[in-house]
Structure 1
């Protein structure tokens, strides 16, 4: 092709971009019409096709099924900006079907982490992440930011704790509240950054010195805008609630105080909101799941209720609990304490030996727990590893043994239908009295924790099923099927190991995922495939529509069993009680239909905030713990592979990064499809799930990063 033709085609591309997209040529047209308008000959058609393919890949033009080309209509999307320390970011959209949108650093337009933004898609390459630019800031989320203060003679500046806020904040003289260098402070932004200028702010609160006890966790609490102290009005309302259950409260309720029942919780739990009972009538198990009737004390629209809605959930940080309800309620009258009369909402289920619920009754009850037991005690009793304990609880051992049998039946039924069980250990951080981590270990589920889990699951399903068929306004816990693209990618990957996921019309049944997890148990690739399967799942959330729970492989599911610590549970208790009392008329149904969508959205968002905060405090203490172990060597498993490095998880659940720059024995190439690095000369590979040895080389508590180095 001649030089002249190359120049002509370059001009053609410009003409398409500036005229076609600028709407001088605005009518969708087929290729022949387009060639005439652009003056392209048949000889140059292949080059025009190439240009059009490039512009389609860039998301600038589109072609219809009838072969007509047109400008891509610019549409904006509202989402949440997630910053990155390197200047770029992503926009998360509430719609799970839309993947996060990449925002280059030159398209951020002053947005900072957690801002609600309006974004325009500028590139939409097929099979790859969309790229966009921030059109405008819809709502600022970071007016108050936790920082470390640094002072200078005539001014100061504050370095944000969050690595997602990558710019220091200028503090003018007289706006520091006399903070000293190294103090943790809360800064209110008074002027947001524009261009190369830093944001400007003032110190509104001094949390304490950087090394003061508890300041590290307090910083995370403030950063994530978690509520701490209850308003005085709320505390007063909680205190006014009676210390004992009155006769008037018990009137008209089903009296179950003669039923043998126990609570099973962690040793340090104080908010006991579920008790269980079990008897057997012939071949039928009579299982009672008795839940604290919190709604008797938290009236709709009261100060207590409004505060509970704002909190959404209790938050369990490494060194403290931030409760949804004041402790006068959560640890007092609402807690199902041993030997005390308590109001409950009971789900009594009649279950046959196949695990089928053949009948059930939901009732307002009054109960009295016989024994407060711990998971550890029940585990020892079931395994018969502590004879003294067996003798101490001899009156309850037969019931506990029957509970274990029923739990096994329920679990087997659940697994048979295809429920997915990701059995990853949680992290248990042991702190001393000054908040310093002295040990970190995995917290495994055991036979006792699974027993309670099985009973709560069947109660939640039973309640949801009844209210689905009643067609009453309700809050469900739903979990949507994963995106076909992610499952297809997982299927392709596991084929490399000889495993198969059967897809039907690009969809997968949860049973296929569980079959995969069963088939890899004990294999070297177990951790690798488990993690990839988990990453392919969507997040569960609260909805008013009952669309099913993919992970549990059931259509009807809700959260009924924890009203002390979760607002959705408390909310559906109100609906259930109004129905039981015959008050759920058309007016009340209309009321719930109006308020529930907002509560579902708020509860889902607040649940995510709590989970992120919990993970953040665990990560902080993990890094602090490992800072005392610099130079130590450990065995671990590769838990993540990215283009900038390899994540390794140790047996104690701590995860660190081996930076690719520190792999100096070869030049390593990143294979995104296989989640691995391979050496160009040696052929050595590092891939997900592989066991490796590492040395701890750096623990940066401030940046919350942990660096490892591979050991040959």
Structure 2
């Protein structure tokens, strides 16, 4: 028995009485062959006090809300598992239907549009499986909403026949929200607003809401970021307590913080970042030592300033990571720390945690040690400058002569680290990123590729080495709980789809059911010079699982490493901060307490599990939000290019059309199946292609196309394209059955494949064609004379 304190209703307790716990109540229901009534529960536990009856009712209602019990039409409590009920989360679709993603995993359940009337995207529900639909999908019926979606909704406010309506920006929320006149709070027609749902939808009425914030006009500069921040519930405000804590932080390193730290201020540590970077959390230095190198990776000691369980720590944990939008950042830490006291700015003292490593001539990590230190960055270099210095730029080499030997040794070390990476067959992606160039009105002037150079890979290899050294340290000491960066091998279904895709291109992935990173690396090496290499790489990436944070080390498949953890960016990633605290805990245990090790913290296992899930979620949240903003900005940019023609490649094939990646711009648009040549098209999911039933025309991944931009829908972030011409990578249009048709020859759709001609037939065919052309030319000449 436990004492009931009204915790389920979040009210102040008026009394304390002994009532059964949730576990005891579940056991009581499980013990019976049929659902249990309230009276039977009271009798079983011999509860005679009226206050106990009230307490048990409240607890049972809370168990209902959490989906632990179901209250049946027979006024009894039953177990969802015995009623074939599945707990899951609703995922809406723009076309009105939806899916339920089960909490326990497995295939999603299809939810019909009729069932979706009573729920909203993001709700947690109980669903009863109803067999399969016409397409063979598991279908479900909504039994109950056990946890309504959290957060307000962003949308565009309209007034239609004196009725206020908010159309959600998120297309997965396919129900418009009605807003009574008294709940508009000054919102005007066409504005972007944030609405709070006050009445949930049911089968007869739409959801009703109240405007709680007016973001501004629809096309206002920066509006796409404001929308994404709110749609994805990204925290942007610091708590009052956090602001008070930050206000007490000094502008310079406090004198007492120097105690018990190794002084590295004379070491020629440098930072290498992008031109527009403002938070520098890593500095590097390499020196020759025998036939190998000694490498120092110094990382900002954020854990000294951000102590566990403070208001600042709680706010940082809630954010989980910094979120980088074009020309705007939502930081994990307040600017005073992220761009100031924690940032390794040049020529100022900074506190740091150091990974000092001995690396062999073959790029193997031989030894490492960790310690708190004080440092001074000797130069703030950029990737562009370092690449130019290594290319021999005399002006830059003279300007940075005092750190030139460090730069050159870093480059020499990088060469052996790269060879070691290739030897272990890490999967090397050559991704091409783009960035938006804005004008003074924050409108996009152009979209430019971001090219990686040797300096990017130098820093990347140094950070990987430090992350490996840290992961090994944690692996060796079980008591030091921290989060590993885990990237598991591809799941079987994705692997099958990827192999099917490769087979269509005449390629093979070795390794059977358990391919190694080497098998993937071999595919990338084979296609490196192919014109469709980027597409193949994209499909390879899609076949991979997403990396996550976990206290259980399962290795990093993509990097071909047995252990890997994130140590190098505690300013912008919370898992790195967790790792720094764990390292300090180890050092404190080995060396005893010291001023330099303040901020150490040992996390219990159950807390690490929660941290891993939370940090993985905030990372996905940031990716989704930034992707949404990028899509919106690309649509805005393409509005000025409606009617223009571009080259592209088929990047994805679906049953409703072809997604085309436009060359150079890396923008995706859709050619809807209804706009293709007049025919019935059939979708082959395994081979990623559309086949015309009569024309036998085939559209498949990797085919090059010529398109025209038909229209752009900013609200739905969609770009509609029209197909002008298509050809396979070999230069000819692909046809089913191996027949390749030359579009330029003017062949008609639906024509049967020609029989193979012998040499004499070919000569006769060419002669007849020439005669036809000559006759046409003479006829035209005669017309001109007349």
Query: Normalising by structure 1, what TM-score?
Result: 0.85
Is 1:693 aligned to 2:706, yes or no? yes
Alignment match, 2:554: 547
Match of 2:671 among 652, 658, 668: 658
Q: Secondary structure at the match of 2:144?
A: strand
Q: Please state whether the residue corresponding to 1:267 is helix, strand or coil.
A: coil
| 1:498 paired residue number | 506
Equivalent in 557, 560, 565 of residue 567 of structure 2: 560
After superposition, residues 393-432 of structure 1 pair within 5 angstroms as: 393-432=400-439
> Cα gap change, 1:194/1:460 in structure 2, threshold over 3 Å: closer, same or farther?
same
Q: Equivalences for 1:524-535 in 2 at 5 Å? A: 524-535=531-542
What residue in structure 2 maps to residue 58 of structure 1?
A: none
Residue of structure 2 in register with 1:476 after alignment? 484
Q: Measure the CA separation in 1 of the matches of 2:341 and 2:647.
A: 48
1:91 paired residue number: 100
Indicate if the aligned counterparts of 1:143 and 1:189 stay in contact, CA closer than 8 A: no
1:189 and 2:197 aligned: yes
| Contact 2:270–2:378 (CA under 8 A) maintained in structure 1 | yes
Question: Equivalents in 2 of 1:234, 1:391: separation in Å?
Answer: 45
Report the Cα offset of residue 421 of structure 1.
2.2
In 2 relative to 1, CA 131–418 (structure 1 residues): closer, same or farther, beyond 3 Å? farther
Q: 1:679 aligns with which of 680, 692, 707?
A: 692
Report matched runs for 1:160-559 at 5 Å. Answer: 160-384=168-392, 386-471=393-478, 472-504=480-512, 506-559=513-566
Instruction: Quote how far apart the aligned CAs of 1:636 are.
Output: 1.1
1:626 equivalent among 631, 635, 638:
638
Residue 118 of structure 1 and its aligned partner are, at CA, apart by 3.2
Distance 1:100 1:408 in 2: 47
* Contact 2:498 2:540 (8 Å CA) reproduced: yes
CA contact (8 A) 1:80 1:91 kept: yes
| CA contact 1:477–1:557 (8 Å) conserved in 2 | yes
C-alpha distance in structure 2 between counterparts of 1:76 and 1:222, whole Å: 33
Preserved CA contact (<8 Å) 1:441 1:653: no
CA contact under 8 A between 1:464 and 1:557: conserved in structure 2?
yes
Alpha-carbon separation, structure 1, partners of 2:83 and 2:541: 34
- Structure 1 residue 704 corresponds to structure 2 residue 717: yes
Give the deviation of 1:141 after TM superposition: 2.0
Counterpart CA distance in 2 for 1:521 and 1:340 is: 45
- Which of 87, 91, 105 is equivalent to 1:82? 91
Matching residue within 593, 597, 614 for 1:602:
614
CA 1:304–1:700: 2 relative to 1, 3 Å:
same
Aligned partners of 1:710, 1:430: CA distance in 2, in Å? 29
Name stretches of at least 5 consecutive residues in structure 2 with no aligned partner. 1-32, 34-80, 593-599, 726-786
**CA distance 1:118–1:423, change in 2 (3 Å):** farther
> Is the Cα–Cα contact under 8 Å of residues 275 and 382 in structure 2 kept in the other structure?
yes
Structure 1 residue 144, shift from structure 2 partner: 1.0
Relative to structure 1, is the Cα distance of residues 109 and 159 closer, same or farther in structure 2, using a 3 angstrom cutoff?
closer
1:615 paired to 2:624? no
Residue 54 (structure 1) aligns with: none
Determine the C-alpha separation between the residues in 2 that align with 1:529 and 1:74.
Answer: 46
Ranges in structure 1 where 5+ consecutive residues have no aligned partner:
1-22, 24-71
In the TM superposition, what whole-angstrom CA distance separates every residue of 1:546-599 from its partner, at most 9, and x where no partner exists? 1111111222111111000000101111111121122899xx987532421111
Please identify, of 429-438 and 565-574, the stretch whose mean Cα deviation from structure 2 is larger: 429-438
User: Which residue of the partner structure matches residue 144 of structure 2?
Assistant: 136
Q: SS at the partner of 1:492? A: helix
CA deviation map 1:269-304 (0-9, x unaligned) = 111100011101121111111100001100101110
SS at match of 1:692: strand
Q: Sort the Cα spacing of 1:380 and 1:90 in 2 relative to 1 into closer, same or farther, 3 A.
A: farther
Q: CA 1:221–1:380 in 2, change beyond 3 Å: closer, same or farther?
A: same
CA contact (8 A) 2:585 2:601 kept: no
Residues 120 and 509 (structure 1), Cα distance of their counterparts in 2 relative to 1, 3 Å cut: farther
Query: CA separation in 2, counterparts of 1:379 and 1:214?
Result: 33
User: Structure 1 residue 319: deviation in Å?
Assistant: 3.2
CA distance in 2, matches of 1:255, 1:663: 69
Cα 1:317–1:619 change in 2 (3 A) is same
1:331-380 alpha-carbon deviations (Å, 9 max, x no partner):
00000000011000010111011110111111111110000011111122
SS at match of 2:530: coil
Query: Equivalences for 1:59-138 in 2 at 5 Å?
Result: 75-93=84-102, 98-108=106-116, 110-123=118-131, 130-138=138-146
Deviation digits for residues 660-704 of structure 1 (CA, Å, limit 9, x no counterpart): 111135443322221112333443322111211111111111111
* 1:143 Cα deviation after fit: 4.4
Query: SS of 2:402's equivalent?
Result: coil
Which of the two has higher C-alpha Rg?
2
Could you tell me how far apart the structure 1 residues matched to 2:585 and 2:233 are?
Answer: 34
Question: Within 2, Cα distance between the matches of 1:227 and 1:433?
Answer: 28
- Between the aligned partners of 1:533 and 1:282, the Cα distance in structure 2 is 41
| Displacement after TM superposition at 1:124 (Å) | 6.8
Aligned length: 637
- Give the 5 Å matches for 1:29-48: none
Question: Given the superposition, is the C-alpha separation of residues 556 and 101 from structure 1 closer, same or farther in structure 2, using an over 3 Å criterion?
Answer: farther
1:525 shift after superposition: 3.6
Over 3 Å counting, the alpha-carbon distance change for 1:389 and 1:246 in structure 2 is: same
Moved more, 627-636 or 413-422: 413-422
SS for the counterpart of 1:396 is helix
1:74–1:121 Cα contact (<8 Å) kept: no
**CA drift at 1:76:** 4.0
Q: Given the superposition, is the C-alpha separation of residues 245 and 522 from structure 1 closer, same or farther in structure 2, using an over 3 Å criterion?
A: same
CA distance in 2: counterparts of 1:647 and 1:353, whole angstroms: 47
Residue 454 of structure 1: SS of its match in structure 2? helix
Counterpart contact for 2:500–2:687, Cα < 8 Å: no
Distance change in 2, residues 1:73/1:410 (3 Å): farther
Change (3 A) 1:559 1:99: farther
Distance 2:102 2:403 in 1: 51
Aligned to 2:60: none
What whole-Å deviation, never above 9, does each CA across 1:51-82 have from its counterpart, x for those lacking one? xxxxxxxxxxxxxxxxxxxxx97644433322
- 2-structure distance, mates of 1:686, 1:94: 37
